[in-house]
A and B are shown apart, each in its own frame.
Chain A
Amino acid sequence: MTIAAIHAETLKQPLGGHDRVAYACRMDVELEDSALMLRYRDGDAAAFEALYRRHNNSLYRYLLRLSLNRDTAEDLFQEAWGKIINSRHNYRPTAKFSTFLFRVAHNCFIDHLRKNKRHTAETNIDPDLSPNPGEQPDQSVENQLARRKLDACLREIPPEQRDVFLLYEEAGMSIDEIATITSVNRETAKSRLRYAVGKLKVAFSEQGSPGSTGRNGDAE
């Protein structure tokens, strides 16, 4: 289906809020990201909210672990979405929206690094100590410790390798998409990912196996 056809089709479909998106999901006509962005460009705020809900947490975690600082991550998160909002009139769905979004976020982080040379020395994620819904207190403490280990492992690898690893894990990018976002060739991106994975495996094994419950609340 061409972009024009997607756009024309999405304009026919009603979308008044987040519940409408859920309705669209049930009907197996979930709108693509680019279609939602086009609808937002045409004035549909609900389309943006639906789009935002799809990517907000993954983008947040990407920036959180990339910057290793909660305040910085929140600033970059807001800045990245602000750029998405401001550029909606010029948006052309030539690539996946997620690629566009994470590229904007990646560039925000690069700009932040250039402005703040001391960034790498400031590590402060401050994990939220409140237990997740359905999580036992003991389990929560154990998970917090595991997260600290994860962050410590991520801190040990260079930012370029960490960036590639997070793009793969959080955004689900392919090597080609990662190469596009980080503005390197495919082999460089692949090499960075290989090094990142190798180092993280070693670090994980040295620090012991982290916790057993996580993002989906599933127990091992």
Chain B
Amino acid sequence: MQNNPDIDIAEGVVDKFLSAQYQRLADETVPDSLDRMVLRAARNERSEGQAGRSRPAAWFRQAAWVAVAALSVAVILEFNEANVFSPPTGISDRVPPMEDRFREFLEAADIAAEQVRDAEAAAANATQNVGSSRESMPLEDHRSLETTLQPNNRECTSEQRAAVSSWWKCIGSLESLGATELAERELAALMGAFPGFAVPEK
């Protein structure tokens, strides 16, 4: 580089002709509109910067972050309480496992089968005793036995209760079988269901 005196700028030796040509020709100036734009930006920025210290901009951003965080935590807690995030756990808590349900079903079936066996045994015994002891039995025992054997001796069925006449007939049969209290309850229910029903004279 030292061999070329035109370029050695470090020593201040340059191509003076080229530099002079450039300096003469490149004489553009900034458009006024651009000048005004930059200077206005500088003034506005300065005034905004000065005002910014007194405005809540500095703490407002932090407060906004805190508010967002607090709202997020509140929403998450709310969802947790509603079990939104853990449907499998909630279901398993409310519904017993399949094994437990099957075991309960088997136990209920066993109990039902035992009750059926007991009922069948009692019916068989009763059938055997009816023919032999019916005449010798006291009237009250007879009625009691009839009550036991009648399928409708405990209360009137829903079909019987559907119509006043059938319901009243059922009540009469209960009375005839000696189930007085039950007959009275059925009669009270009949009067409640059909207030206009007039009890026929016997």
Contact = CB atoms under 8 A, between A and B. Distances in A.
Contacts of A218: 24
Interface string B1-18: 100101101100011011
Contacts of A174: 9-10
A181 interface: no
Classify chain B's interface size: 20 to 34
A213 interface: yes
Contacts of A21: none
Contacts of B41: 78, 81-82, 85
Which secondary structure characterizes the binding site on chain A? Answer: helix
A218 B4 CA distance: 29
Interface residues of A, number: 50
B26 A49 contact: no
26 contacts: A43-B46, A45-B46, A52-B38, A56-B38, A57-B30, A60-B29, A61-B28, A65-B26, A74-B31, A81-B42, A150-B25, A168-B14, A169-B22, A169-B23, A190-B1, A190-B7, A194-B4, A194-B7, A197-B6, A201-B6, A201-B15, A201-B18, A214-B25, A215-B27, A216-B23, A218-B24
Interface in A53-69: 56-57, 60-61, 64-65
Contacts, number: 116
Contacts of B1: 190, 194
B19 interface: yes
Contact of B34 (A61, A74, A194, A210): A74
A81 B38 contact: yes
B25 A147 contact: yes
B58 interface: no
Contacts of A215: 23-27
